Amino acid sequence: MSKFKIIRTAFLLCLVSLSFGSCISRLSRPEITGTIADYDKKPIKDCKVCETVTDNDGHFTLPERRYNAFLLSEMMVMEAPPLFVFEPIEKEGFENDVISMSHPFGGGKPKGAKSPIDTIFLKKKNQQFDIQSMLNDSNWKLAYTKNADTIYMVKDGFDNWCKTDRCDGFLMDYKVLTDNYFYSSAMNLPEGMIKRFTDIKFSKTNSAIRVQQIRQYNSTFDGPNIPPDTLKTSGFWKLKRDSFITFNIDKMKPISGDFKISDIDLYQLKLIKTK
């Protein structure tokens, strides 16, 4: 063996030895801070958030967690590891919830990673809602299934209110019904349409509603491009016994009719058409 090969082999063995003995710090959970409150915005004390509990003001802090990984194995992967956070929230008399976070390369964040959440609103078991007040003089976004037998509604401000798994799943169900481009397997929209966004405004004084629907179409190489269009219309709504709602909307017969309210939360409604 030549002198050069001996030196190179020794260098590689030394590098491997150092690598196996060397570690790199990776993130498994950033520092998470926030406040737990009920739907009346009253702080909830002694609420369990993973390994800690909230104080008298409903505040909690989950400290940052890290782990050591072998440098050599991390170099072989050539990218930072993913980050998955799953922190349960539990309080007697309230529905359980979960703080979850994920990022494909979040494990590579340096020490001192923080993730403030602001306020998480916990839903009481058997929580009661005034649906009339929820709808009066408010703006909602609406999505519906292909045969319009199910409607998902999210109120303006949903993104700021929803910070946990309990409501995040509902938002995903809504998005799937509005976007055939990103959620291509859903195929919920009419052929040729790739996106459909429907805004609905409920009047406070006379049960009137105003609707605006924006529709986007797929561009083709062998045919004319169809520009986006907007449908503006109006109609009326009526609430029956706090569990049924009727829509009568001009130019939108698929979502006109009687619906049962099957799922309700502060910023979301799910409606099932009755026969």
Taking CA atoms, 260 is separated from 56, 79, 141, 148, 154, in Å, by: 40, 49, 18, 13, 16
User: If you search the block for the tokens 């199910």, which residue do you land on?
Assistant: 150
Q: In this structure, are 246 and 163 located in the same domain?
A: yes
Q: Is the confidence at residue 68, as pLDDT, over 90?
A: no
Q: Measured between alpha carbons, how far is 194 from 170 in angstroms, rounded to an integer?
A: 21
Q: Is the confidence at residue 6, as pLDDT, over 60?
A: no
Q: Measured between alpha carbons, how far is 237 from 203 in angstroms, rounded to an integer?
A: 9
Residue 222: pLDDT band with limits 50, 70, 90: low
Q: Measured between alpha carbons, how far is 124 from 36 in angstroms, rounded to an integer?
A: 12
What confidence score (pLDDT) does residue 92 get? 97
Which is more confident, 127 or 205?
127
Q: Is the confidence at residue 191, as pLDDT, over 50?
A: yes
Nearest CA to 74 out of 25, 40, 41 is that of 25
Q: Measured between alpha carbons, how far is 82 from 217 in angstroms, rounded to an integer?
A: 35
Q: In this structure, are 113 and 209 located in the same domain?
A: no
What confidence score (pLDDT) does residue 4 get? 56
Lowest mean pLDDT among 41-45, 59-63, 220-224, 267-271: 220-224
Residue 41: pLDDT band with limits 50, 70, 90: very high
Q: Is the confidence at residue 40, as pLDDT, over 90?
A: yes
Task: For residue 66, tell me if it sits in a domain.
Answer: yes
Query: Looking at 79, 94, 121, which one is the last position of a domain?
Result: 121
Q: Report how many domains make up the chain.
A: 2
Please report, as a single letter, which amino acid is at residue 76: M
Stated as kind and residue range, the H or E segment containing 144 is strand 138-144
Q: In this structure, are 166 and 243 located in the same domain?
A: yes
- Retrieve residue 28's tokens: 């498994």
Query: Looking at 121, 142, 173, which one is the last position of a domain?
Result: 121
The range of the structural domain enclosing residue 222 comes to 131-273
Q: Is the confidence at residue 103, as pLDDT, over 70?
A: yes
Task: For residue 146, tell me if it sits in a domain.
Answer: yes
Query: Looking at 121, 156, 181, which one is the last position of a domain?
Result: 121
Q: In this structure, are 138 and 258 located in the same domain?
A: yes
Name every residue whose Cβ is closer than 8 Å to that of residue 6 and which is 6 or more positions away in sequence: none
Q: Is the confidence at residue 196, as pLDDT, over 70?
A: yes
Tens-digit pLDDT profile for residues 141-174: 999 999 999 999 999 999 889 999 989 999 999 9
Q: In this structure, are 28 and 155 located in the same domain?
A: no
Q: In this structure, are 116 and 190 located in the same domain?
A: no
CB-CB neighbours of 34 under 10 Å: 21
Name every residue whose Cβ is closer than 8 Å to that of residue 183 and which is 6 or more positions away in sequence: 175, 176
Q: In this structure, are 16 and 50 located in the same domain?
A: yes
Percent of the chain with pLDDT over 70: 87
Name every residue whose Cβ is closer than 8 Å to that of residue 169 and which is 6 or more positions away in sequence: none
Q: In this structure, are 168 and 228 located in the same domain?
A: yes
What confidence score (pLDDT) does residue 78 get? 57
Q: What is the DSSP string of 222-267?
A: SSPPPPPEEEEEEEEEEEETTTEEEEEETT-GGG-EEEEEEEEETT
The pTM of the full predicted model, rounded to 2 decimals, is 0.82
Q: Measured between alpha carbons, how far is 16 from 19 in angstroms, rounded to an integer?
A: 5
Task: For residue 268, tell me if it sits in a domain.
Answer: yes
Q: In this structure, are 172 and 116 located in the same domain?
A: no
Tens-digit pLDDT profile for residues 238-273: 998 778 999 999 999 999 999 999 999 999 999 999
Q: In this structure, are 74 and 136 located in the same domain?
A: no
Task: For residue 126, tell me if it sits in a domain.
Answer: no
Average pLDDT of every residue of the chain: 88
What confidence score (pLDDT) does residue 188 get? 93
Three-state SS at 3: helix
Three-state SS at 113: coil
Nearest CA to 62 out of 105, 107, 100, 108 is that of 100
Task: For residue 230, tell me if it sits in a domain.
Answer: yes
Residue 184: pLDDT band with limits 50, 70, 90: confident
Question: Distance from CA of residue 131 to its chain's centroid?
Answer: 23
What confidence score (pLDDT) does residue 10 get? 44
Here the CATH number for the domain that contains residue 94 is: 2.60.40
Task: For residue 190, tell me if it sits in a domain.
Answer: yes
Q: In this structure, are 102 and 221 located in the same domain?
A: no
What confidence score (pLDDT) does residue 79 get? 73
Q: In this structure, are 115 and 163 located in the same domain?
A: no
Nearest CA to 31 out of 80, 65, 81 is that of 65
Tell me 182's DSSP state: T
Question: Distance from CA of residue 106 to its chain's centroid?
Answer: 18
Which is more confident, 171 or 4?
171
What confidence score (pLDDT) does residue 105 get? 86
What confidence score (pLDDT) does residue 226 get? 83
Q: Is the confidence at residue 9, as pLDDT, over 80?
A: no
What confidence score (pLDDT) does residue 245 get? 94
Task: For residue 261, tell me if it sits in a domain.
Answer: yes
